[in-house]
A and B are shown apart, each in its own frame.
Chain A
Amino acid sequence: MNFVQDLSFVHMIQNASVLVQLVMGLLLLVSLMSWWYIFLKMFAVRLAVRQSEEFEELFWSQSDLNRLYQNSNVSSGETGSMARIFAAGFAEFAKLKKRPGMDNSAVMGGVRRAMRATYQREMDNLESHLSFLATVGSVSPYVGLLGTVWGIMNAFRGLANVGQATLAHVAPGIAEALVATAMGLFAAIPAVVAYNRYAYDITRLSSRFESFMEEFSNVLQRQP
């Protein structure tokens, strides 16, 4: 008897049982999607940070809010979240100012609510898919583990039919099964890292937005 096993990576996947292969396929899909979202979020967060910086610079350098509103409103798609919050607040302010008999605190309340609504929407957009990354990070190791446990069960069941059990009978099966765990971890680790990283970035952005909202409210309150 000659146990010359060629345990190449592809070979191991090919030899695995159906359920293990299914688990591997699922993990591959999940991994692909999580990497896609990782890159999407990377670009989105970077863009949001850059646009916020640009808009803050513009906001503090420009004294004429009307001109700024025209600017930010015309290209509302490309100026970023902070510009949209500003536009929502300023539009509400302009509308309420035109109404007769509105006292200042009522105007400011309306402006705040408008800005808050836009802010919520922006945060929602920025945080979209982050929950997917969190889920992948926490669940895919378990999915991989399921595949591994199943594969090892099969390996041991095969051992029952052999009279003289040696490690050579079980080892390839276990190795194949462990590929599932490896894939689960491959999917999970980047997802967890990315989730933590983006959650931190987005929290910073949100605090930045909030402080901008406060500052902008003050500026509007000073408006005649």
Chain B
Amino acid sequence: MSTLAYSYSEPYKLPAGVLALVVHGALFALLYFGVNWHNDQQQGMVVDIWDSLPAMRAEPAKVELPPPIQQAEPPKPVEPLKQAELAEPPKADIELAVKKKPKVKLPEPKPAVEVKKPPAQLKPAVAKISEADRVLQAAQAEQDRARAAQAAATEKIVDEYVSRIEAKIKRMVVEPPDVLESMQAEFDVILIPDGSVLSTRLTKPSGNAAYDEAVARAIVKAQLLPLPPDTSLFNRFRELHLTIRPKKKE
């Protein structure tokens, strides 16, 4: 029996230990990376429905926008100029031809007078100057038109955003019970570029102090106010005059 006396020890102790550690490591990694209960407070989604949206709205980055637009703006007036130049020359030629006719006629009746020749040479120059003037004027007109169109577009965007801001504020107003539809409260609001409100001032009370107060609160609650993505337009929003009317009652 002495040959059989032995102390028992389990085989593969070390590999088993390593495997156990590996199992726990894997489990922990799974839990650490796979399970992450995030409790983000869901903010109420606000949906605006607008029948017309400015095209710029699609571009998401607000900060990167201004430089390309500012760079893009200067060429615009130039383009009309080029078009004007392209369009003008034929006209100028015709005019030149028209002007040349009298010029051609002039030297024939009075060939003897030599003094008058210089003016004859001057005349084309004068014509040329007036022609350049006309081109310039045309370009100016074109530029003005473009500027006016742009201004109109800007005005449209500004109007749209102002009414959007007003609508957002209006939504936030908790109206006191005795409000008439005819009331309107006017506020001067100072904004900073991210759309938050720096200060509000009641410029024209509605006649119902409770309503005025509710609107003032709503203005604060409505920030950040929607602003056009084109930050160059912000100057139009820096000091905003808002007119808030009560919601229509059914």
Residue pair B16, A39 in contact (C-beta under 8 Å): yes
**Contacts A3-B39, A7-B38, A39-B15: A32 and B21 contacting too (C-beta < 8 A)?**
yes
- Decide yes or no whether A84 CB sits under 8 A from chain B: yes
- B19 (CB) vs chain A CBs: closest residue: A39
Query: Which chain A positions have C-beta within 8 A of B17?
Result: 36, 39
Q: Which listed residue (B1, B6, B11, B20) contacts A32, Cβ 8 A?
A: B20
- B27 contacts chain A at the CB level, 8 A cutoff: yes
Report the minimum CB–CB distance from B38 to chain A (whole Å).
Answer: 7
User: Which of B15, B35, B38 makes the CB contact (< 8 A) with A6?
Assistant: B38
Q: How far is the CA of A32 from the CA of B32 in the complex (A)?
A: 18
| Nearest CB in chain A to that of B16: its residue | A39
- Inter-chain CA distance A36–B8, complex, in Å, is 17
A59 within 8 A of B: no
How far, in whole Å, are A190 and B32 apart by their CA atoms in the complex?
20
Task: Decide yes or no: A3 and B24 within 8 Å by CB, A43-B12, A91-B3, A125-B8 being known contacts.
Answer: no
Counting CB contacts under 8 A, is B51 at the interface? no
Q: Given that A7-B38, A10-B32, A175-B37 are known contacts, is A44 also in contact with B20, CB under 8 Å in the complex?
A: no
Total interface residues on A, CB under 8 Å, equals 39
Q: What residues of B have a CB within 8 angstroms of the CB of A8 in the complex?
A: 32, 35-37
With A32-B20, A76-B4, A77-B6 in contact, is A40–B36 under 8 Å at CB? Answer: no
Contact of A87 among B4, B15, B24 (CB under 8 A): B4
Q: Are A31 and B24 in contact (CB under 8 A)?
A: yes
CA distance A9 to B37 in the complex (A): 8
Which A residues lie within 8 Å of B35 (CB)? 8-9
Q: How far is the CB of A160 from chain B (nearest CB, A)?
A: 23
Interface residue A135 (Cβ < 8 Å from any Cβ of B): no
Produce 1/0 per residue, A4-23, CB < 8 A to B: 11111110000000000000
Q: How far is the CA of A7 from the CA of B35 in the complex (A)?
A: 9
Instruction: Mark contacts of B27-57 with chain A using CB atoms, 8 A cut-off: 1 yes-contact digit, 0 otherwise.
Output: 1000110011111110000000000000000
A28–B41 CA distance with the chains assembled, in angstroms: 33
Q: Is the CB of A43 within 8 A of B3?
A: no
User: Would you give the shortest CB distance from B133 to chain A, in whole angstroms?
Assistant: 68
Complex Cα distance A169/B27, Å?
A: 29
Instruction: Decide: A32 and B8 in contact? CB cutoff 8 A.
Output: no
Q: Are A38 and B11 in contact (CB under 8 A)?
A: no
Say yes or no: B23 contacts A40, CB within 8 Å: no
Please pick, from A4, A92, A114, the residue contacting B41 in the complex, using a CB distance under 8 A. Answer: A4
Smallest CB separation, A116 vs chain B (Å): 13
Cβ < 8 Å to A, chain B residues 158-200: none
Is B10 part of the binding interface, using a Cβ–Cβ cutoff of 8 Å? yes
Of chain A, the residue at the smallest CB distance from B4 is A88
CA distance A4 to B39 in the complex (A): 6
- In the complex, are the beta carbons of B4 and A40 less than 8 A apart? no
* B residues near A37, Cβ cutoff 8 Å: 16
Q: When the two chains form their complex, are residues B19 and A35 in contact, meaning their CB atoms are under 8 A apart?
A: yes
8 further interface pairs, Cβ-Cβ under 8 Å (given A9-B35, A35-B23, A118-B4): A4-B39, A33-B20, A35-B19, A35-B24, A43-B10, A91-B3, A91-B4, A175-B37
Please give the residue numbers on chain A whose beta carbons come within 8 Å of chain B beta carbons, in ascending order. 2-10, 28, 31-33, 35-40, 42-44, 47, 73, 76-77, 84, 87-88, 91-92, 114, 118, 121, 125, 128-129, 175, 186
Nearest 10 A-B pairs (CB), nearest first?
A39-B16, A35-B20, A7-B37, A43-B12, A36-B20, A5-B39, A40-B16, A125-B8, A39-B19, A9-B31
Please list the residues of chain B having a beta carbon within 8 angstroms of any beta carbon in chain A: 1, 3-4, 6, 8, 10-13, 15-17, 19-21, 23-24, 27, 31-32, 35-41
Provide 13 A-B residue pairs closer than 8 Å at the C-beta atoms, listed in order of the A residue: A4-B41, A5-B39, A6-B38, A6-B39, A7-B36, A8-B35, A39-B12, A39-B16, A88-B1, A91-B4, A92-B1, A118-B4, A175-B37
